Structures are given as structure tokens and as C-alpha cells.
Amino acid sequence: MTAVISHPDCTLHQNGTGSHPESAGRLGAINNQLITSGLDCVLSHYDAPKAGKHDLYRVHTREYVEQVFRLAPQQGYTMLDGDTWMNPHTLNAALRSAGAMLKAVDLVMTGKHSQAFCNIRPPGHHAGKSRAAGFCIFNNVAVGAAYALEKYDLQRVAILDFDVHHGNGTEDIFSGDQRILFGSSFQHPFYPYSGADTDVPNIINLPMPAGTSGEIWQQAVAQQWLPRLDEFKPELIIISAGFDSHWKDDMGGFKLLEADYAWFTQEMVKLADKYARGRLISCLEGGYDLPSLGRSAVAHIKQLAEFQS
């Protein structure tokens, strides 16, 4: 069975007092679609533990981690950057989100599950070594990858990010680390206005223009990512699953459909079976149009679980 890892604390984080696209409704949209699809009953559900500071220090500077703890408000709100806020529940939510990846790594590395999906917020892929950005506080996938490298003595971990925005935080953390192969497909030029000119051997970015269709995106993945992944032979695959690349999500300009996420997931499952004993972890990043987010996440998780309705 495929594991789904989440925690109620993740629903309590709020980005300021007004409406904000990164809302608790995102997790509910996914959970509701899992139930409607009939998939929920064939998944194993786990509560995310809290990551410890030592887990965060593997990928973030000590100064940054201490700053986040220090700024966490007892009441009201604190702004970490123009898009990223903390309320009194945010620190716990962020620690649970990072902790979900630790739990996922343990589950797949010990063989209890082959695949896991972390249904968490705040997201993480814009959080760099020493700063928050773009709704992200701690870099969840980076925390998980670094933990897997250290605890399980892995030598090769692949991280693939299909969010419509460049995973600049993950790139910042792992640029030049030959144990990590990182690929981000993203709209360019677009926020965070990075990644298109990266020339580092372990980074395989796919910058593409607004209006990119699923067909064009699949071709790029097949031609540029899949051969590199075959060469790399990852012992663990991690996906930064940002569903804001869907055509109905106005946070970006890509034209992907549920079928594109299903295709990509199938390809990653094949690679995981071939090189990583099936070990595959996916972690929620973006996705802000709630109906398409729910449908897309379920299409993705169905392929992880190889579920036939």
C-alpha cells in the first residue's frame, strides 16, 4: 500500500489576515478527492512527526533556523518575506511538513511502503539555505533527501520538481552536490526569475515558455530528464509535486492536464522499480485552483498506488 502522510497542524497555518492562495483548503481538496475516487480506502495514513532542529541544520544554516524559531509569533502575524507569513501555528505546521518527509523516508527505506505522498503545507521548494520565499519556510524535500543520505548511507538521490515555478531553494541547497540529481521544469521568464541559466552538472532544469502544453512538456521530460536519470541510477526518487502547472491554475501559464501528471508518475515509478527498489516519495508543493488540485493529486497518487477504480 502507498502511504499518505499529513497532520492537522498543517491546516492551522495562515498567510496573513486576508485571502491568500496558499490556504488550508488545499489539503482538504486533496483529501475530498481521495475519498470521492475510492482511493482513500487503499492508502495507509500516517501522522507527520515534527522535524527537529538537527534535521533542519542539514540543509539550512543554523542562523536561519534560529531566526524562524525566534520570529514565530505567540499572537498575530510575522512576515518572513513579501509572500510568506507566520501565525502562532505556523512553526508547528512547518516542522510537521518537514517531518512528513522524514517519516516518508523511513517508511520507504525500511520497506514498509514503496511509495509515499506527503500532503502537507507550508510547501518548501523556494526555501533556500538561509531564507524563506514564495510561501515556503523549510525546504521539505531537501530535509528528506539529506536525511536519507545520512541515515541510510545513500549515494544517489534524484529530486524532480514539476511545479510551474522554479525550485530555486532546492537548487540553492544542492547545487554542486553530486549525490543529488535535481531537475526543475518551470515557466520562464516567471517567478522566481531563476534557473534558466544554471550550468551545474547535477542540475537538469527545463525552462519553458508560458503556454507550454502537456505534449511539449512530456517531450522535454522524455528527451532531457529520462536519459539522465537512467545514467544516474537513483537509489531513491523524490518528487516536488506542484500542481499549479495545470491549465486551470491561474498562478502560472502552463497547460498541463491530469493525464500529464499520471504519465510522469508512471515514468518515475518505472525508474524507481528499475533502480531504487521501488522507493518513491512525492511531496506537495504548489497548486492553488482547488478543483484541479484535487483531481491532479489523485491522478498522481493513483499511479503511485497503481490503483484501478
Give the count of beta carbons closer than 10 Å to the beta carbon of residue 243: 31
Q: For residue 309, name the pLDDT band (cuts at 50, 70, 90).
A: very low
Each residue's pLDDT tens digit, 259-280:
999 999 999 999 999 999 999 9
8 Å CB contact between 300 and 265: yes
d(CA 95, CA 20): 21
8 Å CB contact between 279 and 152: no
Which is more confidently placed, 1 or 48? 48
Q: For residue 65, name the pLDDT band (cuts at 50, 70, 90).
A: very high
Residue labelled with grid coordinates 502507498: 2
At 4, is the secondary structure helix, strand, or coil? strand
pLDDT over threshold 60, residue 95: yes
pLDDT over threshold 60, residue 146: yes
Active site amino acids: 126
Print the domain residue range for 208. 2-305
CATH number reported for the structural domain that contains residue 21 in this entry: 3.40.800.20
Q: What angle do CA 161, 164, 307 make, to 5 degrees?
A: 60
Give the count of beta carbons closer than 10 Å to the beta carbon of residue 258: 18
Mean pLDDT of 271-291: 98
Each residue's pLDDT tens digit, 179-229:
999 999 999 999 999 999 999 999 999 999 999 999 999 999 999 999 999
Q: For residue 18, name the pLDDT band (cuts at 50, 70, 90).
A: confident
8 Å CB contact between 187 and 208: yes
Give the count of beta carbons closer than 10 Å to the beta carbon of residue 304: 26
Mean pLDDT of 284-304: 98
Each residue's pLDDT tens digit, 150-186:
999 999 999 999 999 999 999 999 999 999 999 999 9
Number of domains making up the chain: 1
